[in-house]
Structures are given as structure tokens and as C-alpha cells.
């Protein structure tokens, strides 16, 4: 049997807020999850627990899911946990009566503050048995901690954390509390696994039995929920809708909503213009310029009283409105008067008004993250719009691209220096595509995006890297590979001319399933002297004494200095090769690529040959770096090309 109906129930604890799910019970599940690496087993463990919580009621489920994904609010609200080491050490000291110096030392030995908290708790003798901690209290306190600011914020946070620690009745509660507060549970429970577990629990709950349940049903429920969350990223409402309408009905109640970010659709790589016709098999397509700026999803709503709200989201669902107040201010210029609500997909590009030309991505990167007054803007931007996802109360993503484009052009007008439609041509001949590609480069773009125009395959697929959107960059055509976005995790001291600066850096890709940064290459090429100085100054701010436990780095490539996973660099390389000393995409990471004939290698990872620094990617967080699965795919693709 695929799934057996979970049995038993959760013994709720009595609290002043009524019966609650004990945090201890959730931590027992976390322990079991941590003890295995098998994805199906992890999903089943979490599914069974969520099913039992689901029976206890919606509030319990909402809180438990948030603690499982280790978030206090939806991403776009920008409220993050992630408490510094020193505050956590202080809190552990306060709660357990141990000396901070001892705790620091133990941290050096164990490399995991969670384990230190666990050990401290085990050895602690207490006079009173604390009242059990509930999942809801943990979440509420996390929220309070994340939102505490002001002069004595650190002190208040330390107080709140130590109260939580003091209330732990088991040492594993202390371990997971501390890890959660660091921002990472590190049990191999990716958010996508929690989503699968939630979908499956909801399906079982709805059916009431496991009779006749097929693997396809589980998969369908999972896909369904993932799609819903990529358009409506608020667990609280989605869970409420699951109770009300069932897992199959949730999609029609949690639809695209202006002011909630949609996970963007992404493109696959196409290496040659000749292959495009073959790929599209006679289906009409359009070629658009691929602008080199920052993805900007513009949301707008006007209510009946005339109140307006405009939000600009980044590619990662961050609220970028404070960075682009000029875009928000020009909405009424480019939207026709009949438009009352919309979601536009655009690329914001640095723009030179005098010459009427696009400026480079580097220029855009120098724009400040927050502008208080529009007069402070030093780098002007123009938005090139390529899709319309929502208009006047209606989601459009299921419509063919051709129709969405018509609506875009009917309801929005170009405004000089501010808003334009993406330059596009509906071409059919390879020579014309090639020529348009050349022209895009002359016009300071990266190449072309080629998109299916008609039929179901041209719908907008939130969060998917789809074959219905292909990217054709000049570099691929010239035989250079695509670039990778990698995280800087270490540095090596320089020699000769580079004494005083770092001579090379250690880069890593990210494996979201294992929540691990895997070393991929050492890089020392592509930097100017001023680059080297600037990088050193910036990176030194995130220097750490020892590697994070979630860094996969072999002894042979150990750097002299370690960094927090903070900076992402775009890097190009001659090619990718197998390596016994780098870990990228090793062994089991391949489960993500089940379609591959052979796993890459159980012991070797993939490494980059002759990597070269291109630029800093300030618009990406470390977790947005190229994933292990993408590295594996690039490696495999190159094998088929050769
Ligand atoms: P890259 O490093 O190329 O930005 P990526 O993984 O961020 O890679 P891709 O799927 O490769 O994203 O390319 C899509 C990105 O290209 C979009 O996120 C968007 O920012 C940008 N873009 C520029 N012009 C267009 C366009 N006409 N249509 C869609 N996306 C465009």
C-alpha cells in the first residue's frame, strides 16, 4: 500500500489559551526526520503528523505548518527569524545558568549551537517541572522576536528566547528551538516536502480512508497545492480553504490576488537558433528581447472609494516598492483609466534618458535598496513589460499568451523613459531569429526569450522552469556555457601581488533538499584589483570562525577563512567536470533528476573548470543560488552536446 491511514491522535495540552499541540510531539517527528535521508519516508512522517493535527482543528494546523517551514509570516512580508550567534549564546546561558564562555567553547567543539543547547538542557537540574511548551506559543514568540526592534531589542529578544528554553521539557526541543532561531532547522525538511505532506494529509482527511488511494492521487493533490501556493502564498488562508473546500476545491478559492506575489515563470536554456523550430514543432512562437535588469512584478488595486495600492515584487517575492517608488508613481500614466487592478510581469532596466538606451545591469545594481524621496534616485529605470497576469478582477494566466499580450497592449500605454512593451517579433525563419538575436545584443540586451503563443501550452505557469519559454543568449550560441550563480563560502590568502587581499574564493551551489551548500570550485580569475578590495571589505563583514555544519567541503579544498552564506556571484566556466574533491551535486542529489539514466556519481561531485567571476548578484539570496539539481542538469546536458 502506498499510504496507510495514520492512526492515533495527538494528546493536546492544557494551556491558558485552551488545548494546544505540544511542541515536544513535533520535535519527536523532527528527530525521526533528521534520522533519515529518504524523501518518501520524510514526507510520510510529516504527513501522518499533520493529519493528526488536522483533526485537532485549523488553528493548530496553521501554526504547526509554519513551524515546520520555519517561517513566522509569508515571505513577502519580509519578517525573518535569524538571530545572531551571540544573542543565542546569551539566551542559552541565561536559561541554563551556565557561563557564556563555556557555551562558546562548546560551540567551537560541536559546531552546532542547537547541539550545545541540547547538551546544556540535558545536564541542567531543575527544581520545577516547566509547563509544557505548545507549538502555538513557539510560533507566537518567534513572531514577537522577529518583530522586536528599537534600543533594547537584543535584550528583549534574549529574554524571550531564554523563557522559551526554560520551558522546554525535552532536550530535543531546545535543540530545534535554537536551530529554528538561527534560521535553519537542518533536518532535511525542505518547504516543498512540507507542502507535499500537507497536501497528502488533506487528501486523507477529505477521503476519510485510504481505500483505493493511488499514487497518482497523492501526486495530483501535491501538484495542486504547490500551484495554489505559488499563486497565493499565504498558508493561513490556504489551510482555511482546505478545511472549507477540500484539497480539490482549494484552487478555485485561493487564486491570484494583486498585492500577493506570484512565483515567476522561468525559462529553459536553448543553445542554438536552429533548434528552436524543432522544439516548437510547428507551434507559433514569439521572440522577445531578454532584458538584463531586475524582474519586477507590478501589482495594483484601486478600491471603490478611489484608494490605491501599488506593490512592486522582486523575482523572490520580496517587496521592492521602496526601491522603485518611481515605478509605483507612474502607474496611472501607463495604465488606462478603466484599469482598476492588475499584475504585470516586467523587467526593470537601468535607462539613460539622454540617449534613450538601456544601461548595464551593473549600473542598475548601484541603485539604492530603499529610496525615501524620488529626488534621491540616481539611476533611472524603464520597465519593459512582457506579460499581464491579472486585469480588472480577473486572473489571466490560463489564457494563451497571444491574448494576454493583446490585453496588455489594449490596457497599458508606453510612456517615454518609464514604461515600454518588451520588443518582440513573431518569427518563423531561423535566419530571422539569428538576426533578431544579433539586434538584441546591439540594443544592450542579453539575447532572446522565445515563447509559445497559442493554446494551453502558452498559459503562464507560475514557479515553473518551462519549455514553453526558452532563453537564447548570445553566449550559448558562441559555445560558452550558461553562467551559474554561486555562494561565496570561503577565501584563501593571497600570494605575491595579492598579499593582503584574498587570492581566491571558495564557491558553492545550494541543495534545497539537504539544506546544504556544496563546494563547487575555487575562483581567482575575472577580478580587477578594485574588485578584490571591494569583495574583501564586504565579505569580511560576514566572516565566521568555523564552517557552518551545513557546508559540504572536503579537507582538500578547505579555505583559510569562512563566510556566512550571504553573497551570490555570477560565474562562468569553460565546462563542468567530475571531481573527487568537490561536492556539488554528489550522489543522492540525483534523486531530483530521476529521469537521468545514471546518477552522476555516488562519491564524486561536479566542479567547474576555469571559472571566471562575472558580477555580484545582489538580487539573489544564497538559497536562490544555482541548485545541485541544476548543476547536475548542466553537467548532463554538456555530455549530450559533446
Ligand atoms: P538569469 O541568470 O538569466 O537571470 P534566471 O534563472 O534568473 O537566469 P531565467 O529563467 O534564466 O532566469 O530567465 C528569465 C529571466 O529573464 C526573468 O526572470 C526576467 O528577469 C528576465 N527577462 C528579461 N526579459 C524577459 C522577457 N522578455 N520575458 C521573460 N523574462 C525576461
Q: What is the pLDDT of residues 148-190, one digit of tens each?
A: 988 899 999 999 999 999 999 888 999 999 999 998 898 989 8
**Does the Cβ of 71 fall within 6 Å of ligand 1?**
no
**Does the Cβ of 315 fall within 6 Å of ligand 1?**
yes
Q: What is the pLDDT, as a whole number, of residue 391?
A: 98
**Does the Cβ of 302 fall within 6 Å of ligand 1?**
no
Q: Which residue has its alpha carbon closest to ligand 1 atom 24?
A: 290
Locate the ligand 1 atom nearest the alpha carbon of residue 617 and give its number.
2
The residues with which 268 forms a beta bridge, in sequence order, are: 470
What pLDDT band is residue 601 in, cutting at 50, 70 and 90? low
Is the Cα torsion angle 224, 229, 235, 241 positive or negative in sign? negative
User: HSE (CB half, 13 Å, CA atoms) of 36?
Assistant: 13
Q: Evaluate if residue 126 carries a pLDDT over 70.
A: no
Kindly report the length of the chain: 642
Catalytic residue among 290, 418, 473, 522: 290
- Classify 220 as helix, strand or coil: helix
The residue among 243, 146, 263 whose CA lies nearest residue 198 is 243
Out of 267, 385, 451, mutate this one to test ligand 1's pocket (max ligand atoms within 8 Å of CB): namely: 267
Q: Which residue has its alpha carbon closest to ligand 1 atom 5?
A: 266
As a 3-state breakdown, the chain gives helix, strand, coil percent values, each rounded to 5, of: 40, 20, 35
Q: What is the pLDDT, as a whole number, of residue 407?
A: 98
Who's near 95: CB < 8 A, 6+ residues apart? 120, 161, 162, 163, 165, 166
- 265 touches 439 (CB < 8 A): no
Q: Evaluate if residue 593 carries a pLDDT over 60.
A: no
CA of 295 to the centre of ligand 1 (A): 7
Q: Evaluate if residue 497 carries a pLDDT over 70.
A: no
Q: Evaluate if residue 529 carries a pLDDT over 90.
A: no
Out of 265, 290, 344, mutate this one to test ligand 1's pocket (max ligand atoms within 8 Å of CB): namely: 290
What pLDDT band is residue 358 in, cutting at 50, 70 and 90? very high
The residue among 451, 383, 385 whose CA lies nearest residue 421 is 385
The residues with which 365 forms a beta bridge, in sequence order, are: none
Q: What is the pLDDT, as a whole number, of residue 93?
A: 93
Mean pLDDT of 401-417: 98
CA of 234 to the centre of ligand 1 (A): 25
Instruction: Please say if 290 is a catalytic residue.
Output: yes
Q: Evaluate if residue 503 carries a pLDDT over 90.
A: no
Amino acid at each position: 500500500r502506498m499510504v496507510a491511514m495514520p492512526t492515533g491522535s495527538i494528546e493536546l495540552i492544557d494551556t491558558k489559551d485552551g488545548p494546544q499541540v505540544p511542541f515536544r510531539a513535533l520535535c519527536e517527528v523532527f528527530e525521526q526526520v533528521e534520522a533519515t535521508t529518504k524523501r518518501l519516508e520524510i514526507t510520510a512522517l510529516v504527513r501522518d503528523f499533520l493529519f493528526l493535527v488536522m483533526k485537532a482543528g485549523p488553528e493548530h494546523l496553521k501554526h504547526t505548518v509554519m513551524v515546520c517551514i520555519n517561517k513566522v509570516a509569508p515571505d513577502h512580508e519580509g519578517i525573518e527569524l535569524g538571530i545572531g550567534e551571540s544573542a543565542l549564546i546569551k539566551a542559552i546561558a541565561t536559561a541554563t545558568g551556565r557561563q557564556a564562555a563555556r557555551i562558546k567553547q562548546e560551540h567551537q567543539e560541536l559546531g552546532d549551537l542547537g547541539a550545545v543547547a541540547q547538551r546544556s538542557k540535558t545536564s541542567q537540574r531543575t527544581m520545577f517541572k516547566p509547563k509544557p511548551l505548545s507549538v502555538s506559543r513557539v510560533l507566537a514568540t518567534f513572531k514577537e522576536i522577529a518583530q522586536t526592534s528599537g534600543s533594547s531589542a537584543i535584550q528583549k529578544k534574549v529574554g524571550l528566547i531564554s523563557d522559551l528554553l526554560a520551558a522546554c521539557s525535552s532536550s530535543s526541543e531546545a535543540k530545534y528551538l535554537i536551530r529554528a532561531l538561527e534560521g535553519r532547522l537542518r533536518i532535511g525538511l525542505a518547504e516543498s516536502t512540507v507542502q507535499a505532506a500537507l497536501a497528502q494529509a488533506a487528501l486523507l482527511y477529505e477521503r476519510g480512508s485510504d481505500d483505493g488511494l493511488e499514487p497518482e492521487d497523492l501526486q495530483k493533490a501535491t501538484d495542486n497545492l504547490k500551484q495554489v501556493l505559488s499563486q497565493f502564498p499565504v498558508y493561513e488562508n490556504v489551510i482555511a480553504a482546505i478545511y472549507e473546500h477540500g484539497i480539490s476545491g482549494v484552487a478555485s478559492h485561493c487564486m491570484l490576488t494583486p498585492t500577493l506575489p506570484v512565483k515567476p515563470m522561468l525559462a529553459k536554456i536553448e543553445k542554438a537558433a536552429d533548434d528552436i523550430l524543432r522544439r516548437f514543432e510547428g507551434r507559433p512562437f514569439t521572440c522577445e528581447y531578454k532584458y538584463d535588469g531586475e524582474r519586477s512584478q507590478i501589482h495594483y488595486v484601486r478600491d471603490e472609494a478611489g484608494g490605491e495600492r501599488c506593490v512592486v515584487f522582486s523575482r523572490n517575492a520580496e517587496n521592492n516598492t521602496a526601491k522603485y517608488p518611481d515605478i509605483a508613481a507612474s502607474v496611472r500614466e501607463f495604465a488606462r483609466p478603466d484599469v482598476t487592478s492588475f499584475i504585470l510581469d516586467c523587467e526593470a532596466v537601468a535607462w539613460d534618458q539622454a540617449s534613450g538606451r538601456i544601461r548595464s545591469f551593473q549600473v542598475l545594481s548601484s541603485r539604492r535598496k530603499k529610496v525615501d524621496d524620488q529626488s534621491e534616485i540616481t539611476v533611472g529605470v524603464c520597465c519593459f513589460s512582457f506579460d499581464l497576469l491579472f486585469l480588472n478582477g480577473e486572473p489571466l494566466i490560463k489564457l494563451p499568451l497571444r491574448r494576454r499580450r493583446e490585453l496588455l497592449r489594449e490596457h497599458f500605454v508606453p510612456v517615454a523613459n518609464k514604461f515600454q512593451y518588451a520588443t518582440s517579433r513573431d518569427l518563423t525563419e531561423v535566419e530571422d531569429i539569428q538576426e533578431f538575436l544579433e539586434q538584441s545584443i546591439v540594443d544592450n540586451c542579453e539575447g532572446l526569450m522565445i515563447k509559445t503563443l497559442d493554446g494551453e501550452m502558452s498559459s503562464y505557469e507560475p514557479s515553473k522552469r518551462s519549455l514553453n519559454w526558452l532563453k537564447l543568449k548570445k553566449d550559448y550560441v558562441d559555445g560558452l556555457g550558461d553562467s551559474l550563480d554561486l555562494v561565496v563560502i570561503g577565501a584563501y590568502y593571497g600570494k605575491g601581488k595579492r598579499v593582503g587581499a584574498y587570492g581566491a574564493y571558495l564557491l558553492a551551489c545550494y541543495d534545497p533538499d539537504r539544506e546544504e551548500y556544496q563546494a563547487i570550485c575555487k575562483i581567482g580569475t575575472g577580478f580587477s584589483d578594485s574588485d578584490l578590495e571591494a569583495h574583501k571589505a564586504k565579505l569580511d563583514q560576514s566572516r565566521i570562525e568555523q564552517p557552518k555544519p551545513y557546508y559540504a567541503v572536503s579537507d582538500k579544498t578547505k579555505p583559510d577563512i569562512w563566510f556566512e552564506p550571504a553573497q551570490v556571484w555570477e560565474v562562468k566556466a569553460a565546462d563542468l567536470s567530475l571531481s573527487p574533491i568537490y561536492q556539488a551535486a554528489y550522489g543522492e542529489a540525483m534523486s531530483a533528476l530521476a529521469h537521468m539514466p545514471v546518477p552522476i556519481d555516488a562519491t564524486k561531485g561536479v566542479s567547474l573548470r576555469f571559472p571566471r567571476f562575472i558580477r555580484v548578484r545582489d538580487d539573489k539570496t544564497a538559497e536562490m543560488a544555482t541548485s545541485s539539481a541544476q548543476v547536475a542538469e548542466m553537467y548532463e546536458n554538456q555530455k549530450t552536446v559533446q
